[in-house]
Homo-oligomer: A and B are copies of this chain.
Amino acid sequence: MTSQGTSDGVERFRTHAPENLQERFAHRAAHMKPSEIRSLFAVASRPEIVSLAGGMPNLTAIPMETMSEIVEKLVREHGMEALQYGSGQGHPRLREQICDVMALEGIRANPDDVLVTTGSQQALDLISRIFIDPGDVVLVEAPSYVGALGTFSQYEADVVHVQMDNDGLIPDALRDAIKTLRYQGRKIKFLYLIPNYQNPAGVLLPADRRTEILDICREEKIFIVEDNPYGLLGFDRPSPNAMRSQDSENVIYLGSFSKTIVPGFRIGWALVPQALREKLVIASESSILCPSNFSQMAISSYLANQPWRDQIASFCKLYKERRDAMLESLDAHFPKAATWTKPQGGFYVWVTLPPEIDTKAMMPRAIVAKVAYVPGTAFYADGFGSWSMRLSYCYPTPDRIRQGIAALGKVVEQEMERRGVPQIN
C-alpha cells in the first residue's frame, strides 16, 4: 500500500507487512500457488499471438440480437424476481429444463436432485468440500483438467493419475490403482473423469468401458464424478450415453452451459445422488448463498424460446472446421516423431513429443514465434507430462490455427535439433 494523505486527520496508514504471515494462514493455503496456465495467459492473450492455449468457447455463433432481447424482457417482465435473492439450490424452472438437456444423453433425473452452481467449477469445489479430508486419495485420468487438479489440491487430496489410451481411462489400470492404494491402506474418495472429448486429451470413452468402470467403482464403493461440459459437442455422431444414465446412486454428474450456450452467465450444475443432496446444497449456501437468479432465468428463457439444439449444431460445425484445420496442419507441419490425439468433439488435441523435449522450457521460444499452448505438466499433479502439450482449436479462426501450427511445428523441430533428437523420416 502506498502512503496516503491524512487530510481529515482520521486516516492512519500503516506500512508494515503482516508479521509471521505464513504461520497465520491455514495449512491448505500452502497449496494456493499460481498455476502454470495462469502466468501464461497474460502473455498468450496478446493479439499478435495465436493462442492455442485457452479453452474459451467461440461466441461468434451466438445470436446476440436475440440474447439482448431475452435479457431486456427478463428484467422488464420479471425484474422483481430476477434481481432478487433466489433459492440456494437453484431456480426450480431451470432445474426442470436441465433435466431435459440431460435427457439428450440418456439421463432420467428428478429436478429435486439438481443443484445449480456458479459454473461447474463450483460443483468441483463443493464435492471436494464434502468428501476430501487431507491425505484422502482422488483418482483422476492421466492427464486431467487443470482446474480440477487445483481444487483437489487445495483440499489437500492426494491426486493419483490412472493411465489412459486413445479410448480414455483404461479399466484394468483403474483396477490396479485401486488394489495398490487399498493395499497401502489409503482412503479413496472418488474417481473424477471427463468421458467425452476429455480435457486435455480430447479422447472419448466408449460405452463398454463406461459400463466396466461403473461396475468397478460401484463394487469398490468409490463415487464417480462424471464431468461433462463437452458431451453435446460431438462432431459426427452423438457421444455414448452419460455414465450417470446407468447409475443414479454412485455417479455425481456435472454439467455446464458454458460451452453449449455462453460462459458469461456462469451457470453449471451437479446432478447428485439423493443421499448427497442436502449436504451439497448446504455447502453451496455457505459458499455463495445462492446462484444468480438473473443468470439462471436468462438461460431458462433462452432454453424455452430459442432453438438451442440447432444452436449447438452450429457450434459443432464451427468447432469441427477448426479441428480439421488443426489436424491437417499438424500432419503437414509437425515432425514425424510427434503423435497426437484425433478428437471427435470438444476443444482439445493432446500432442506427445519425444521425451527429450521439455514443453515448458520451449514455451518462450513458441511465444517468440507468436504461438502459445499449455505445457503438459499443467495437467498432472505429479510432474509428469513434460514432453506433452495441449492445443485448443476452439477459439482462433481456421486460418490462424494453420498459421499457429506451422509456426509451432518449426519451434518443435528446432527444439529437437537443439536437444539432439534424431529426426524420423
Contact = CB atoms under 8 A, between A and B. Distances in A.
Contact of A248 (B14, B147, B151): B14
Interface stretch (A77-85, A198-206, A303-311, A358-366): A77-85
Given A29-B279, A266-B288, A10 B72 contact: no
Interface stretch (A106-114, A322-330, A333-341): A106-114
A170 interface: no
Contacts of A24: 131, 189, 221, 223
A32 B76 contact: no
Contacts of A62: 79, 83
A85 B68 contact: no
Interface residues of A, number: 105
A315 to B, nearest CB: 14
Copies in the complex: 2
A185 interface: no
Contacts of A189: 24
A139 to B, nearest CB: 14
Nearest to A188: B24
Interface in A109-159: 110, 113, 118-119, 121-122, 125, 129-133, 136, 147, 150-151, 154-155
A2 interface: yes
Contacts of A263: 83-85
A329 to B, nearest CB: 25
Contacts of A130: 25-26, 28-29, 32
The CB with the most chain B CB atoms within 10 A, among A27, A67, A278, is that of A67
23 contacts: A1-B249, A11-B241, A11-B245, A12-B246, A13-B248, A18-B249, A20-B221, A24-B189, A26-B133, A26-B136, A29-B130, A64-B79, A68-B79, A84-B263, A118-B118, A121-B286, A121-B287, A122-B288, A147-B285, A150-B285, A154-B283, A292-B295, A294-B295
